[in-house]
């Protein structure tokens, strides 16, 4: 059985071929919680490699436990903080997509500095996404959503795309919020080709 867990040994940025054993496209989910998105995406798109990054030890263990029931060969997980991981370990222009679903909104003003979707995050997304690569973000928190929308709208090097069909809930939190009748705010943007 494949253990999906990877560890960061050594200095410098990763080589995705070492991580996955092949040169297929790579997509990252940051803050995967119960791993619902990762499992469905890895199973439905076996030609793509998926890596989930989760900072909470508790949710990391829970997501990995669910994956271990029947681990897809194209799925890996890592216990790490997302922005630090992007900045230190992810090679330039090496990702086909970045997925961030229901990032913690940190509603109190004094906690806003803990939010993941910031200009520093966007700078890393610009660096790590390949031309045509997508950043997809959802949130149920209207005020954080408005900030995310403003951050992404007209961001240098990106073009906004329509979300398209919503279909099944992508994640555990989306399913929960839909049951509660809460609005989900969705953002999709694409890394432009270099001029």
Ligand X SMILES: C[S@@+](CC[C@H](N)C(=O)[O-])C[C@H]1O[C@@H](n2cnc3c(N)ncnc32)[C@H](O)[C@@H]1O
Assess 102 for contact with ligand X (CB under 6 A): yes
Catalytic choice (9, 15, 70, 104):
104
Q: In angstroms, what CA-CA distances link 38 with 9, 22, 49?
A: 23, 19, 10
Quick one: which of 14, 26, 28, 30 contacts ligand X (CB under 6 A)?
30
Task: Tokens for 38, please give them.
Answer: 């990762």
The DSSP result for 1-16, as a single string, is ----B----SSS---H
Write down the least CB distance from residue 159 to ligand X, Å: 25
Binding track over 137-176 against ligand X, x by CB under 6 A: ----------------------------------xxxx--
Contact 115, 106 (CB under 8 A): yes
Residues 46 to 85 in contact with ligand X, rule: CB under 6 A: 53-56, 59, 81-83
CA distance 92 to 149: 24
138 strand-pairing partners: 101, 186
Q: Residue 104 catalytic?
A: yes
Work out whether strand 75-79 and strand 49-54 pair parallel, antiparallel, or are unpaired: parallel
Assess 5 for contact with ligand X (CB under 6 A): no
Where does this chain bind ligand X (CB under 6 A)? 30-34, 53-56, 59, 81-83, 101-104, 116, 171-174
Residues acting as catalytic residues: 104
């Amino acid at each position: 059985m494949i253990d999906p867990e990877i560890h960061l040994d050594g200095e410098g940025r990763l080589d995705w071929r070492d991580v996955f054993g092949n040169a297929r496209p790579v997509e990252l989910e940051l803050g995967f919680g119960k791993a619902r998105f990762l499992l469905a995406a890895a199973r439905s798109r076996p030609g793509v490699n998926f890596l989930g990054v989760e900072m909470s030890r508790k949710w990391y263990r829970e997501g990995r436990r669910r994956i271990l029931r029947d681990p897809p060969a194209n799925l890996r997980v890592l216990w790490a903080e997302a922005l630090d991981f992007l900045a230190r370990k992810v090679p330039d222009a090496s990702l086909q997509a970045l997925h961030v679903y229901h990032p913690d909104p940190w509603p109190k003003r004094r906690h806003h500095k803990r939010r993941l979707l910031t200009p520093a995050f966007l700078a890393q997304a610009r660096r790590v996404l390949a031309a045509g690569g997508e950043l997809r973000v959802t949130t149920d928190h209207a005020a954080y959503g408005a900030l995310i929308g403003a951050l992404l709208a007209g961001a240098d090097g990106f073009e906004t795309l329509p979300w398209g069909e919503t279909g099944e809930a992508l994640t555990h939190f989306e399913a929960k919020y839909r049951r509660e009748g809460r609005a989900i705010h969705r953002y999709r943007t694409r890394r432009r080709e270099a001029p």
